[in-house]
Amino acid sequence: MSPFLITVVFLCTTLYCVRAQDTKKDVFYLKNGFEFKPPRDEFPPFQGCYDEGEYSTSNSKNKIPTYKVNLDLPPDQRWTDLVSDKRDEITKLLNNMKNHTDEIFGHSIFQLIDTYMPLLGRTLPRVYYEELAGIARDSGETIGEMIIFNLFYEFFSFCTSIVMEAKDGQIYHGRNLDFGLFLGWDPKNQTWLTTEYLRPLVVNVDFLKNNETIFSSTTFAGYLGVLTAVKKNTFSLTVNERFKMNGGYVGITEWIFGHRSQRWMGLLTRQVMEEADSFKMAQEMLIKPELVAPVYFILAGNETNQGILITRGRSDANTLAIGSNQTHDFQSWYLIQTNYDHWVKPPFYDDRRGPAVTCMNKWGQDNPRKTLFNVLSTRPVLNKLTVYTSIINVVQGTLTTHLQNCKSPCWPW
Ligand SMILES: *[C@@H]1O[C@H](CO)[C@@H](O)[C@H](O)[C@H]1NC(C)=O
Ligand SMILES: *[C@@H]1O[C@H](CO)[C@@H](O)[C@H](O)[C@H]1NC(C)=O
Ligand SMILES: *[C@@H]1O[C@H](CO)[C@@H](O)[C@H](O)[C@H]1NC(C)=O
Ligand SMILES: *[C@@H]1O[C@H](CO)[C@@H](O)[C@H](O)[C@H]1NC(C)=O
Ligand SMILES: *[C@@H]1O[C@H](CO)[C@@H](O)[C@H](O)[C@H]1NC(C)=O
């Protein structure tokens, strides 16, 4: 087993991008998550809140399909229907990843991954390893590639999540999933390459036990974990990336060296959705375990006042509850989380919190779905990385997802 190799795979985002920027004129690559300059000056700053007018879920032409994953089946058969349908799309995304990795490291890097990643996979809990093996079989990819595919979501989800209380006290939960860093900017189409490949992979999944839906999630075909989900009349959960230098790399290296008590974020959230039967229990399960990498959990409950931002380090946690006065930014009826700690000012080159606060205050509590949709569709809360917008009502257990496509002019992130 080669800890060195794994570390290189993740550190390469930095190496790779610097070099690619020098050698390729037509695609803009990030140097690393937070040390880059905008490719152009022409992207508009915040220009007022989006106003869709009449919000309705039926007017969305960006409908996505729903699949069932039956947890009573043997693990390697659970994802077969979904993965068989999305096989071509998964292959396209992986090929795109491979092509870009090949440019720098040559083809050998993916051969090494094929050799070593399955060993890493076997250190995962057995059920998840078997699910992965089934997904690999059904998609025609190797287990190593599917593990890489799954790990990407742990590290490259740049998002906005909002919990709000409506006038009647009901809790609503909205989120944008922004993804696509790492694999390059296409200046002709003004799109992130990976975001384009991800859009066809977005699906709703109902997880079944005893023939009943125990929770619903919006996810990417081929991904085992949970980034956006609701358990009817119990709680809803979204995950945002928390970027800390070396945060994840240290954790992965420790994991490989056998420090296995740490939890992978996506598998922890999956377990929480399956096992927690209340807002309180979910909160405890998310705060306690040691994690491989830092992350933000945004949790909403089925009763008034149940909304919380959980800022996780690898072993520490900070919480901010709805209605508390710890921050001057938010009014007492909502919470907003982007990719920065709530107690610090967002950096000027990525301030999505400020516009979100302005627009939450503008649209108010009267029509919660419309408020959330409008705020999440406001540039730059909505940006070129945004793949989808989801709106959740916890009590009803509804999770409505729209594919997003931010038309130019629009911020790249
Ligand atoms: C990958 O590269 C090959 C050869 O250069 C090309 O034919 C193929 O279209 C590329 N695939 C993707 C998804 O970019
Ligand atoms: C860019 O846009 C053109 C024309 O709309 C399309 O044919 C092409 O596939 C797009 N490229 C990517 C990488 O999305
Ligand atoms: C689920 O429903 C099907 C028919 O709809 C039935 O054949 C099967 O026995 C049920 N399974 C369980 C675990 O209840
Ligand atoms: C909220 O969920 C808890 C735990 O599942 C449950 O005991 C309680 O009755 C629910 N509250 C309402 C208003 O349904
Ligand atoms: C927050 O501040 C407002 C007004 O300053 C006050 O009415 C409210 O009770 C405070 N809430 C908490 C939880 O301290």
Judge if the beta carbon of residue 234 lies within 6 A of ligand 4.
yes
What range does the domain containing 369 cover?
57-66+158-403
Residue ID of nearest Cα to ligand 3 atom 13: 210
Ranges 69-83, 184-198, 208-222, 295-309: which has the least confidence: 184-198
Q: Are 387 and 195 in contact (CB under 8 A)?
A: yes
> Does residue 259 lie in a domain region?
yes
Q: Are 193 and 183 in contact (CB under 8 A)?
A: yes
Residue ID of nearest Cα to ligand 2 atom 6: 189
211 CA to centre of ligand 3 in angstroms? 6
> Does residue 387 lie in a domain region?
yes
Amino acid (one-letter) located at 319:
T
The 10 Å Cβ neighbour count of residue 390 is: 26
> What pLDDT, on the 0 to 100 scale, is given for residue 104?
52
340 CA to centre of ligand 5 in angstroms? 24
pLDDT bin (cut points 50, 70, 90) of residue 328 is: low
Judge if the beta carbon of residue 332 lies within 6 A of ligand 4.
no
> Does residue 308 lie in a domain region?
yes
Distance of CA 228 to the CA centre of its chain: 7
- pLDDT tops 90 at residue 253: no
- pLDDT tops 90 at residue 18: no
The number of the ligand nearest the C-alpha atom of 187 reads 2
Residue 379, domain CATH? 3.60.60.10
Please indicate whether residue 101 or residue 394 has the higher confidence score (pLDDT).
394
> Does residue 209 lie in a domain region?
yes
Out of 12, 17, 49, 159, the active site residue is 159
> Does residue 279 lie in a domain region?
yes
- pLDDT tops 80 at residue 342: yes
- Mean pLDDT over 7-20 rounds to 36
pLDDT bin (cut points 50, 70, 90) of residue 344 is: confident
Ranges 39-43, 79-83, 215-219, 241-245: which has the least confidence: 39-43
Per DSSP bridges, beta strands 202-209 and 66-70 are parallel
Question: What's the chain look like in SS3?
Answer: CCHHHHHHHHHHHHHHHHHHHHHCCCCECCCCCCCCCCCCCCCCCCCCCCCCCCCCHHHCCCCCCEEEEECCCCHHHCCHHHHHHHHHHHHHHHHHHHHHHHHHHCCHHHHHHHHHHHHHHHCCCHHHHHHHHHHHHHHCCCHHHHHHHHHHHHHCEEEEEEEEECCCCCEEEEEEEEECCCCCEECCCCEEHHHHHHHHHEEEEEEEECCEEEEEEEEECCCCCCCEEEECCCEEEEEEECCCCCHHHHHHHHHHCCCCCCECHHHHHHHHHHHCCCHHHHHHHHHCCCECCCEEEEEEECCCCCEEEEEECCCCEEEEECCCCCCCCCCCCEEEECCCCCCCCCCHHHCCHHHHHHHHHHHCCCCHHHHHHHHHCCCCCCCCCEEEEEEEECCCCEEEEEECCCCCCCCCC
- pLDDT tops 90 at residue 278: yes
17 is catalytic: no
Judge if the beta carbon of residue 193 lies within 6 A of ligand 2.
yes
> Does residue 125 lie in a domain region?
no
- pLDDT tops 70 at residue 52: yes
- Mean pLDDT over 361-374 rounds to 92
Mean residue pLDDT of the chain comes to 80
The predicted-structure confidence for 88-138, as pLDDT tens digits, reads as follows 999 998 887 777 666 555 566 666 666 766 677 777 888 999 999 999 999
> Does residue 90 lie in a domain region?
no
Let me know if 307 is exposed, middle or buried by CB neighbors in 10 A (0-12, 13-18, 19+): buried
Ranges 36-50, 166-180, 385-399: which has the least confidence: 36-50
Q: Are 242 and 312 in contact (CB under 8 A)?
A: yes
Judge if the beta carbon of residue 91 lies within 6 A of ligand 1.
no
Residue ID of nearest Cα to ligand 2 atom 7: 189
> What pLDDT, on the 0 to 100 scale, is given for residue 331?
87
Residue ID of nearest Cα to ligand 1 atom 14: 96
Single out the residue of 384, 274, 396 nearest to residue 43, CA to CA: 384
- Of 27, 97, 189, the one to substitute when testing ligand 2's pocket (max ligand atoms within 8 A of C-beta) is 189
> Does residue 280 lie in a domain region?
yes
The number of the ligand nearest the C-alpha atom of 324 reads 5
Number of folded domains that form the chain: 1
- Mean pLDDT over 300-326 rounds to 90
pTM over 0.95: no
